[in-house]
Homo-oligomer: A and B are copies of this chain.
């Protein structure tokens, strides 16, 4: 679980400078629990330039502070990572809630896939969509 201090420390460890713009962006993303777009952050920190918000969010993604979340329409969002290892998401299609999942592709399936196709498997995208408990009871 990240807070402003721990992210600042991560930035310092990477030899990056702590600037007001970066602090503002980090604080803004840490304030959100679901997924969000760059524009969501931009509207939270209008004093920071657009390019800088993009740059900072890219930085945070590379540092695994943020991860990218794929929506069902194929568009990408961001989210504060709870875990830094490989994982997938279950995204609510009604609200912006996201669950991080333990489940991944069975290694046996990957072997089978490599065997039958002749491909050397390098990676995969796996994201699930559904309606969270709260949204289900809202419309019930």
Contact = CB atoms under 8 A, between A and B. Distances in A.
| Copies assembled | 2
A130 interface: yes
Interface string A23-46: 000000000000000000000000
A99 B74 contact: no
A121 B132 CA distance: 9
A127 interface: yes
Q: Tell me if A's interface is mostly helix, strand, loop or mixed.
A: strand
A126 B129 contact: no
A80 interface: no
Given A103-B109, A106-B106, 4 more contacts: A90-B113, A113-B128, A118-B136, A119-B128
